[in-house]
Amino acid sequence: MQPYPFPYIGYFELMARVDRWVAFDVVQYNRRSWMNRNRILHPSAGWQYFSIPVAKAPHGTALSAIRLADPAEAERRLLAQLQHYHRHAPHFRFVTDLVRDAFARAGDDTLVGFSLASLSAVAERLSIAFVPERCSQLGLALDGIEHAGQWALCIAAQLGADAYLNPPGGRALFRPEEWATAGIELDFTELNILRYDCSPYVFEAHLSILDVLMWCSPDDVGTYLHKQRSGATLHDQL
């Protein structure tokens, strides 16, 4: 999976269901993507992006080589964008402490390093076992990729996987017959909606986990993820 900073809850559903998680960081960095941004509530209406600014790099630079422009300023900006939650969200302090922890635990100044730190910080609080590996550091042979769906197949095959799980948004990228030939089961999570009360704001689906945890306790989110793993009703409301 491509590592994102504080992604939506479906990302953590996938994390909770797999035995091995590899950060797909050998792909080209795309600045108009989720690689360094996500969404939270806007103080007036709807939603807004937050982003983790990165240093300039030549076109075609691999995600693994992208560095943060100024980690301290990125932390300050994100915390400032979250301030409007303070008046209403019951877990505001919990989330701002989470953000500070993510920046503090990043092992280097790379975007991947920060994204993995954010995933680890959230996973720890949701009691999800998470030991990420970076594709760029595994010494895999990744030549001869003919289409986007073959990246995961090539990596999974070399790691000896018998099954691969992907979010539903990437379903069109894959050719099931290739996976069947390789003897690897291909499966997808569902695009479930966790609804929660965020009054006086209007609920927006699929926002960053930061928004979810503003309104839902880690125990409630953990219960929701457990229900997804066990195949219970998918549209639960806390």
Residue 234 lies in a domain: no
* Strand, coil or helix: 175: coil
Residue 235 lies in a domain: no
Tokens coding 1 = 């999976």
> CA separation (Å) from 140 to 19, 158, 235, 238?
19, 7, 39, 43
Residue 2 lies in a domain: no
Range of the domain at 97: 9-228
How far apart are the C-alpha atoms of 217 and 234, rounded to whole Å? 19
Residue 196 lies in a domain: yes
Tokens 């229900």 locate to 227
- Report the domain count for the chain: 1
Residue 1 lies in a domain: no
DSSP state of 157: H
Alpha-carbon dihedral sign for residues 58, 59, 60, 66: positive
Residue 164 lies in a domain: yes
Residue 4 lies in a domain: no
Residue 38 lies in a domain: yes
pLDDT string in tens for the chain (238-residue length): 899 999 999 999 999 999 999 999 999 999 889 999 999 999 999 999 999 999 999 999 999 999 999 999 999 999 999 999 999 999 999 999 999 999 999 989 999 999 999 999 999 999 999 999 999 999 999 988 999 999 999 999 999 999 999 998 889 999 999 999 999 999 998 888 899 999 999 999 999 999 999 999 999 998 898 877 654 333 333 3
142 within 8 A of 161, measured Cβ to Cβ: no
Q: DSSP for 86-137? A: GGT-TTHHHHHHHHHHHHHH-SSSBHHHHHHHHHHHHHHHTT----EEEGGG
Q: Which amino acid is at 100?
A: R
